[in-house]
């Protein structure tokens, strides 16, 4: 536990991400699998004694900011999230650097194309967000240029192309060290 993770849930999710990864790649025998499963079920019991119903939702921090720790892309206590950290430039464009392991596989050794769509939806949407006014996706178009490899350094970027009335048009991509692998265009709205 730390000042920014007072109850240790961020560290718990980090441990779970390691467990998820190795559970996919493990080749131990049935007895060892059963032993691990017993520990997993016991941990589930420990955490089940006090739960909120449904989902994490969007909670508020003590200083009033929204906390999306359960979010499937950026949520630090959601083990399914890589999680991405979104960085804002002064011109409202955004970027994020990350790599993706075995849990995000589609084609052999490659990131599932749908995972690229998931991450791009979030990164493009982040440019359209305004304080207290989250944007929702109207349309997302994803163009696959070539495969995106697991286990390599990746960078996602997005910027606002133009605003027309209630619509914000955003463009972005995911790139490896050899250039873009997937490009996307999104149209976002601010719900009234």
The greatest distance separating any two alpha carbons of the chain, rounded to the nearest whole angstrom, comes to 61
Task: Mark residues 102-141: x for contact with a copy of itself by CB under 8 A, - for none.
Answer: xxxxxxxx--xxxx-xxxxxx--x--------x-xxxxxx
Judged by phi (left if over 0) then psi (alpha if -120 to 50, else beta), residue 134 lies in beta
Cβ at position 92, least distance to a copy of itself in Å: 20
Q: With contacts defined by CB under 8 A, how many residues of the chain interact with a copy of itself? A: 88
What's 91's DSSP letter?
T
Q: Is-contact 174 104, C-beta < 8 A?
A: no
- d(CA 180, CA 178) in angstroms, rounded, equals 7
- 56 vs 95 by CB, closer to a copy of itself: 56
Binding mask 47-86 for a copy of itself (x = CB under 8 A): xxxxxxxxxxxx-----------xxxx-x-xxxx------
Among 15, 65, 85, 130, binds a copy of itself (CB under 8 A): 15
Residue among 71 and 127 whose Cβ is closer to a copy of itself: 71
Task: Tell me, residue by residue from 164 to 183, as one string, x for binding to a copy of itself by CB under 8 A and - for no binding.
Answer: --------------------
Is 144 one of the binding residues for a copy of itself (CB under 8 A)? yes
The smaller minimum CB distance to a copy of itself, of residues 88 and 144, is found at 144
| Residue 120 phi, psi (nearest 5) | -70, -40
Residue pair 166/178 in contact (Cβ under 8 Å)? The answer is no
Distances from the Cα of 35 to the Cα of 40, 62, 175, angstroms:
9, 41, 40
The least CB distance from residue 38 to a copy of itself, in Å, is 8
């Amino acid at each position: 536990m730390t000042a920014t993770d007072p109850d240790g849930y961020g560290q718990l999710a980090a441990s779970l991400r390691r467990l998820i990864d190795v559970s996919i790649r493990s080749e131990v025998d049935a007895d060892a699998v059963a032993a691990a499963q017993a520990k997993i079920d016991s941990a589930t019991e420990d955490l089940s004694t006090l739960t909120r119903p449904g989902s994490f939702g969007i909670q508020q921090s003590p200083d009033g900011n929204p906390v999306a720790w359960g979010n499937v892309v950026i949520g630090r206590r959601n083990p399914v999230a890589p999680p991405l950290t979104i960085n804002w430039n002064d011109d409202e464009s955004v970027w994020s650097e990350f790599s993706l392991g075995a849990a995000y596989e589609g084609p052999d050794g490659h990131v599932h194309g749908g995972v690229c769509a998931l991450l791009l939806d979030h990164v493009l949407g982040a440019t359209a967000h305004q304080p207290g006014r989250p944007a929702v996706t109207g349309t997302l178009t994803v163009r696959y240029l070539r495969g995106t490899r697991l286990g390599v350094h990746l960078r996602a970027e997005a910027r606002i192309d133009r605003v027309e009335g209630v619509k914000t048009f955003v463009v972005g991509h995911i790139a490896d060290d050899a250039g873009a692998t997937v490009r996307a265009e999104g149209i976002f709205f601010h719900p009234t």
